[in-house]
A and B are shown apart, each in its own frame.
Chain A
């Protein structure tokens, strides 16, 4: 099993550009989520999904879109990048939404200039 994979590992965007961060898992997990990590802020939940076709907002959803057309994939789209979105982004998956450990991907380091 590859676990949770994320691409790209690094990305530099200019303000206003759009892009999609890819996330995939091969563990047949129902629950997937996106976090951003900023110094001193811990991990903040952006969006999450409890299964294919179902998504919901987390703590900091503004400026991001998600979709879940398959169990395996959960892409995160930045519609119009802003410097405030400079961060490290982690995708995670778990067996379900309640009481199971989360497996994290290696992260994407995004810089918006």
Chain B
């Protein structure tokens, strides 16, 4: 079954408010990626985190990878209408046959003016 879970499933915010989505894995991940999917579009890569405790920033977006490499978060400061979409984490779980990327269930963000 799904080994990478995300919460919340939906988030509705007013423009200017902050937003955070959390990603949790039942197993240790070798790395984690984040993708954004606009309504009606396809997932687009945002960033990859590899090291335990790693923090990366992209303008108003802050990505963190947990110390145990089992969880991650994406925080958006002062949301804008252009942030609307579904955010997915994708964890790379080492298996006997190689790496597989397992996507989380996604968090759908809606931003109201």
Residues of A within 8 A of B (CB): 33, 35, 40-45, 48, 50, 56, 58-59, 90, 92, 97-99, 101-107
Given contacts A42-B2, A42-B88, A42-B104, contact A98 B99 (CB under 8 A): yes
How many A-B contacts if CB must be within 8 Å?
A: 61
A99 touches B50 (CB 8 A): yes
Q: State whether the Cβ of B39 lies closer than 8 Å to any Cβ in chain A.
A: no
Residues of B within 8 A of A (CB): 2, 6, 9, 30-31, 33, 35, 41-45, 48, 50, 88, 90, 92, 97-106
Report how far A62 CA is from B80 CA in the complex, Å.
Answer: 41
B interface secondary structure, majority: strand
Select which of A42, A50, A103 is within 8 A of B45 by beta carbon. Answer: A103
Report how far A73 CA is from B105 CA in the complex, Å.
Answer: 28
A107 touches B33 (CB 8 A): no
Given contacts A99-B50, A99-B92, A101-B33, contact A43 B42 (CB under 8 A): no
